Structures are given as C-alpha cells and as structure tokens.
Structure 1
Amino acid sequence: MPAAEMDAALDHAERLLGTMTPPTPGHGLPEAVRSALADEFDGPGLTPTGFMPTATHWEGDTLRFSGTGGILGDLEATVPGFELRTETLARRVIVENGTAVGAVLEDRRSGRSYEVRARHVVVCADGLRTPQVLYASGIRPAALGRYLNEHFQVTSFVSLADEFNPALFPPEPRNVRPVLTPFSDARPMQGGVMLLANSAYRMSLGGGDPLDDGDASARLAVLAWYGAKDLRSTDAVEFSDTETDFYGMPRMRIRYSHTDRDRATIEQMTSNSVRAARRIGTLHEPPALAAGGSSLHYQGTVRMGETDDGSSVCDPWLRVWGVDNLHVGGNGVIPTSTASNPTLTTVALAWRAATAIVRSLTSTRSATPAATA
C-alpha cells in the first residue's frame, strides 16, 4: 500500500493504543545500558539504539497498560446494537451467491447453534483459527494457511555488571523503558534488554512472589534478540476434512521447518546475545531459542496481497478474494516476516480496513435510506 497511507494508519494505531516512546537519550540506569549497547551495536546504515515503544500511559501515579478495553471504551454501553458474546464459538461464515451474509455461532454453555445475519462479516481469530474458520466455511483460496511464520526469539538472563548496579542510580517511577537495538536492512533482527530493577513488568523466577525492588534479583535483566523468518509457502497450517479438534472444527496440522537462511539468522542472533551480555554483565545460561509458536505472534496465514494471484488470501483492504463483504483481520494478514511484536501493524491494518467498511455502509445508507431504516 502507499507509504503515506500506512504511516497515517500507524499514527492512528499509536493514538488508539496510547503508545509512548521514551526520548533518547534517557536518564538513569536505562540510559546507561542504552548508551553502552549503542557503543557496541550502532554504526553506519543501522538504526540507532533507543528505547522500545510501549502501549502504556500514566494516570497520576498509576501506570496503565493499553488493551481491548482501552480501544473499545464505553461502546458496549453507549452504542445501540453493539454486543460482546462470551463463551461463543464461530462455526462458519454463511455465504450465499458469493456474498458473506452472516455466521453460524454456537453457545458453548447450552450447545445451541444459531445464525447471525450481517451486511459485513469480519473473521479475526488468530493466525491459526482465522484460516480454520474460513476452511470450515468452504472458503479455501490457494494461499489459505500458507506462509506461516513468526519471529525467532533467543532469550537469556543477564546479571548486570557493577557499573550498572541499580543502587548507583537515582530512584525513579516504574521503569517502562526496555532498551531497543532496532531492526535495520543491514541487520535483519532486533535486540532488547528489559531491566528488572524498578520494572513495571512483574514476574516470578520460580513460583514465588513477583520480584520486588529490594530483591538482589534487581541486578538481573532479560536479554532477547528477535529475527525474521525466511518465508516459504510450504510452511503452513493445514486442515483435515475427516478429523476434528476439541471444538469440532477441522483438525490442524502444522508443517514448519528452518531453512539455511533461518539457521544463519538464529546463529547471528545468538552471537549478538553473547556480545550484548558481555558488554553489560554476565550470562546466567547460554542464550536459548524459544520453541516455535511460543511468541503467539504467528502470521501470514491469511496474508494480504495486491492481486488475486494465488499467493494471498485478501486484498490490501483485508477483503477476502472471491467473497463479497467478507474481511479478515489479525496478525495473519501481515504478508512479510517481522522481527518484532506485530501489534501496532495489525491494529493499523484493521483501522484502515474498518474505515473502508464505514465508507461503504455510509454510502449505501445515503443511497437507500429506506432499506437501512
């Protein structure tokens, strides 16, 4: 899509999510770590090391993390006809004469199935279940479920060196400034360091109480590098015509493997993890590649494309090829591999598609007011 349109969509997504990007240079311990990693990794043609954007904002002394509720606001209470249905399974999309006209839903409490009719249908489950619903509906474009990918993730714990002892730095409000060594064309991966000292992200290291600021573990940091997958149509989620899963939907089978390029990327990510750790402290264990799927950021399975040439499921407005009034959403629509969390991109694409649906509804209402009363 045109770069200006994508930039506008990303700007809107940042406003919806309340995205906060800490300024560079920063201050305190996060700035000391950022500066050290910038000395280690920045160079010509590379995006400078800074701080990771977060979907957070302060309300007085309380740090708020953005979520679905922050975007929806009071829609359910104030907009007639808006409804969220819990414990409800989408069985299939209803298609009549090449047009999506509704969905078959199931109340999981009673087992009752029923139809909901609509002028536009959007299927937005996740990168695995969105293509599953389409497959169950008999909507099966050639690219459905294919190009499955997620970013690689190599993680480890680091004990900070004496120069980064949190006690040497002035206290500050909850730290929401993970250090970010960004993806660049010349380095197709990104690195991050989340400092546990004074962190807003609470975690446990063994089933006990979450880490608190007085604990010796405040000298710990989570070090992670993320890399982009080599895309192949043969990496896919496939669906059975004879077997079903727990919910009675077509059973999934995952086909996924690493290419030589993938193995080289993972090797470089591991090398960069060791290099970063040596600059700021000491590794607790060798960097470990996370298991496939553990990021929950899998994408590509209902990917968008410019033309209906068999390599995509939807167009740049997320309209499914060959079925009118049917849209898809979620991480699965992203057509390229990524080396970072895809939330902002996914929200931007969803907002862009939603504006097109609104325009369509508005123009139809203006043309035929009696039919929409």
Structure 2
Amino acid sequence: MSTAPHVVIVGSGPIGSAYARTVLENHPTATVTMFEAGPQLTEVPGESVRNIADPVAKERAREMSQGPQAGAHRESLGIPAGAVVEGMFTARQGTHLLDFGGDGSAHAPTFPAVAAATNVGGQGAHWTCAIPRPAFSERVAFIPDAEWDELIGTAESLLHAQSAAFADSAIGGAIRSLLEAEFGAELPSGYGVGTLPVAGDPQPDGSMRWAGADVVLGPLIDPAHPLSRRFTLRDLSFVRRIVRDGDRATGVVVDDLRTRTETPVDADIVVVAADAFRSPQLLWASGIRPAALGRYLTEHHVVISTVALDGDRMGDLVSDDQLDEELARRAQHAADPVAAVNRIPFSEPDHPFSLQVMYAEKPPFPLDPSHPHAGSRWGYVNMGYGVRKHPRVDDGVTFSDAELDYRGLPNMTIEYALTPAEEDEIAQATERLRRAGSALGTFVAEPRLLPNGSSLHYMGTMRMGDVDDGTSVADPYSRVWGIENLVVGGNALIPTANTMNPTLMSVAIAVRGAREIARELQR
C-alpha cells in the first residue's frame, strides 16, 4: 500500500461523512475525496437547512435539493403528493420523487412516496435529527454487545446527540405526564415515556442548532485543522460507475455536471454511501450484482395524527405563566416547527413500535377559523407510530439494462407489499395512537397510515450479513462480498426490522467499517 492511500467516497450525507472523518482520524496519511451529485446548499458544507432563519433562503435551499443539478440546469422532480408534513417525521420538502412520472422515472406503484434528496449533506440537510438507539431485535446480532455499545456511543458523539432536548419545556413535561398516566404501567423499565434523543447543539436562547453532515465532518471542513488538507469535497460530481480490475475495485468514473466531462479517479478503497436505491443502482451499473443486491427492502411505516391539546388537562400541570414563557420562546424561533419532542421507544415483546410526539403552537396544516380547536392557546401535537417491516426477499428494487433512467443509469422498479404481520402491527399501533390522542386532547386529524415510502428511511437493499450465503451484500465490516476494496454504507446495510429513525444505527455501522479500512490501509 502506498504511503498516502486514497479513499473515494460516493455520497456526502452523514454516513459518507462518518467514513471520511473516521478514516482520516485513524490513518496518518490517507487522503479522501468525496463526490456528491447535488449542489452545496449552505456556506458550511452539509449544514442542516433547518438552521436557515430566512424563509426565502430556506425555500431556495430546499428547491436546490429537488433535482439532479443546481442553478440554471436544476431539474425539479417534485415533492411526494399529499405527504408534506414539515416538522413531523421527515422534512419532505427538499426531496424529489423517484417515481415522478416523466421520462426516466423509476417505477414504484407499490412504493409511491419513495423520494431522495440530491445535495451536499444528503438527507442530513433536511432530516428531523431524531436519533433513538436501536434496541432488542433492531440491533445487529453478529456485532458483539460491548463493541456495539461503543460504536453507538461514538456515533452519538459524531452527531452531537442530545438526550434531553427541550426537557425544560413545561408543555413537554405535561405531555409526558399524561402519556405516562395512560401507558406507564404497560411499559418495561427503561423503555417508558421520555424525551426523544436528537442531534444538535442547544443554544443560549433555548433554540437548537440542528446537526447535519457538517457536524460529522467536523475538522475536515475547518480550514485551520490539519485534517482538512487531506479531505476534498466535490459537489455536482456524479459517479457513473465503479472501475474494477477483475474482482478488485480500483476507482470510479466521475461526470462533472458543470462541464459534462467524465474523468476516471483512482482509489485504493471505494466507499459507496449514496442511498438505499442509488447505491445498489451504481453497483449494478458497474457489473457488481450479488444475489441480494436491492432485495430485502424495508422501511418503518408511519401512522400519524394531529391532536389539539386539552386546556383543562394541560392547565392542571402547567401554569399560565409557564405557558406564556413557552409561547414567548416559540415566538423567537417561529421558523423552526419543532418544540418539545417526546417518545415511547420500541420494546419487545409488547410494544414493537415507536411513538414520537412533537409539540407545536400551530398545526402542520391550516385549520378553518371556524373549527372549534382553531387557534388553540395550548397548541397541538403531531404524533405518529413507526411500525416495522419484516425483511423479505420479495420486497426490493430491480434494475433494467434495457431502460435507462433520467441519469442514464439502469432504471429502477420497486416491488413492495405489506403482509399480515405488518398489517396486524399497524392495527395495534393505530389503536395505541387513538389512546395517546385521547389522553392528550382532541383529534384535529384522524389517525392515518402514510403511503408506502413516506418514512424516507429505506433499509435492507445492501444488507450486511455474517456469512456469504446469498442473503446479504456486505460482510460484518461493510465490505462487499467477493469484491476487494469496495465498501458500502448507509441505511441499506441494516438487516433488521426497525421502527424509527435509522441514522444513528447507520453511523455506528459506518464507524466500524471505516476503522477496518484504516487498519487495512496500514497493513
């Protein structure tokens, strides 16, 4: 191995960023080049768009994410119809549908809300920053418990985890008390009602600076830090294929979207961390086609509702002065829809779903002024249960060598179906959501199941495994079976059935893979 090995990373989201930082911090001379097909949205690379206070600038940044190119060449592909729920579970503004109906559109009639963001920072520029720890069967069984706990802790550090965001909110505390009265006796110790862990940095004025890929990159984007001299980020640079010498990856071919010139780039290691659809698509386009590629697609299905908080019940727990203080604080941060965030986490066997409860002084949609709960002084909660999808080989994405997509790569067709196992747990979650809403107030939006693909948390299509038996794409260190020097990353690696927000888990898996890269490069 050369004294200054070169690592190429495809994708600039939190996972690719975790690879870049971990490799450079664990190898004394390695260099990293990161390629991103989309534009840079913010002055700080990868910063969360949610931190932009000016609504016009925020909207422009989101629009720049909604297509494959920026500026005069940007091509908006749309937002999932009927699924814009800002500040709920996903920031769907800033995404574009994969099945958008035009030339080169993917085919996803059974997964209609499937969407992606194309920008520096990936979905990390738009996400809600929720980072609950995986538990019970959500964890990866073949990673030892002690190592897993350390990896999760490292991932939390990279993401600037906050376990008690808005814990001082009197409104949030009252919501927890009402939910505890309803559900507490049914939940196991350590998995009851609590605050939702999030990624970000509390500010002196009570607001949050939400984390994006920028906080993961950390010193790599600080010009004064020595590590930044070994890191290069190139936006509007679309990787068209992985170059191989037999069963060994040797680099990539990059299409500069500004000049439309293609250039080969050599690499000692290639890391593909785009997303759960475009990463396997790149492998397929490069002739790398393990049997499990694209299969075992999962997400967590979401049953959502909005509830107007009950004034009498809240008034028993929160004084008028405390409410006035809360509303005054919210008025200072009107551009940020998230205030107090609470949850009931996944646990087994009796609570195999996750509840998120987010307080806001306004509902996420306009209420008719004549509605009895319009303009509620006590505000509202947007609530939802995440319900797991059990992995099946039948669910997944296939690629066509005969039909190209709008990028000129093999086009996608997504096949997906709910089974009685999911339908039963969705029914249970819906019943619990009704109980939660009734404990807190009055429904202003009835519980409903969002369309398949709405979570934006897509998993399993490059799943990791402990043996090369055709049911996984990568080994326990995220290396593609049978191809040297090729590593994959992202939610697509997750082989388990998960109920909520997989980013923390995927960053932990990436840390493990990146440490192994650094070890291999020093052998």
**Range that drifts further, 45-54 or 22-31:** 22-31
SS in structure 1 opposite 2:185?
coil
1:354 aligns with 2:514: yes
SS in structure 1 opposite 2:232?
coil
SS in structure 1 opposite 2:343?
strand
Identity of aligned residues (%): 39
Q: Is the 8 A contact 1:91 1:104 kept in 2?
A: yes
1:188 aligns with 2:340: no
SS in structure 1 opposite 2:231?
coil
1:98 to 247, 264, 284: 247
2:456 to 286, 296, 301: 296
Deviation of 1:203 after TM superposition, in Å, equals 8.1
Deviation of 1:23 after TM superposition, in Å, equals 8.5
Which position in structure 1 is the counterpart of 2:220? 75
Deviation of 1:74 after TM superposition, in Å, equals 3.9
Task: Name structure 2 gaps, 5 residues minimum.
Answer: 1-142, 331-337, 368-374
1:14 aligns with 2:156: yes
Which position in structure 2 is the counterpart of 1:168? 320
1:51 aligns with 2:223: no
1:137 aligns with 2:289: no
Which position in structure 1 is the counterpart of 2:259? 110
Deviation of 1:45 after TM superposition, in Å, equals 5.6
Task: Return closer, same or farther for 1:132/1:23 CA change in 2, 3 Å cut-off.
Answer: closer
1:224 aligns with 2:384: yes
Instruction: Give the counterpart letter for 2:476 in structure 1.
Output: P
1:245 and 1:8 map into 2 onto residues whose CA distance is 41
2:341 to 154, 167, 178: 178
Q: Is the 8 A contact 1:196 1:217 kept in 2?
A: no
2:296 and 2:304 map into 1 onto residues whose CA distance is 25
CA offset digits 1:136-176 (Å, max 9, x no partner): 01100010000001001011110101122577361255675
2:363 and 2:219 map into 1 onto residues whose CA distance is 31
2:476 and 2:403 map into 1 onto residues whose CA distance is 33
Q: Is the 8 A contact 1:41 1:181 kept in 2?
A: no
SS in structure 2 opposite 1:284?
strand
SS in structure 1 opposite 2:407?
coil
2:471 to 311, 314, 317: 311
Q: Is the 8 A contact 2:475 2:481 kept in 1?
A: yes
The runs of at least 4 aligned residues of structure 1 exceeding 3 Å deviation read 23-27, 165-169, 172-177, 215-218
Deviation of 1:178 after TM superposition, in Å, equals 1.1
2:396 and 2:167 map into 1 onto residues whose CA distance is 42
**Range that drifts further, 289-298 or 245-254:** 289-298
Which position in structure 1 is the counterpart of 2:175? 33
CA offset digits 1:202-257 (Å, max 9, x no partner): 985359xxxxxxx6475111011111112211001110010010000110000000
Task: Provide the aligned length of Structure 1 versus Structure 2.
Answer: 353
> What is the alpha-carbon root mean square deviation over aligned residues?
2.2
2:204 and 2:290 map into 1 onto residues whose CA distance is 50
2:344 and 2:400 map into 1 onto residues whose CA distance is 42
CA offset digits 1:277-328 (Å, max 9, x no partner): 1111011132111111121101100000000000000011100000001000
Q: Is the 8 A contact 2:306 2:363 kept in 1?
A: no
Which position in structure 2 is the counterpart of 1:211? none
1:64 aligns with 2:209: yes
Counterparts of 1:122-271 in structure 2, within 5 Å, are 122-162=271-311, 163-164=313-314, 168=320, 170=322, 171-172=325-326, 176-186=339-349, 187-197=351-361, 205-206=365-366, 216=376, 219-271=379-431
Q: Is the 8 A contact 1:22 1:177 kept in 2?
A: no
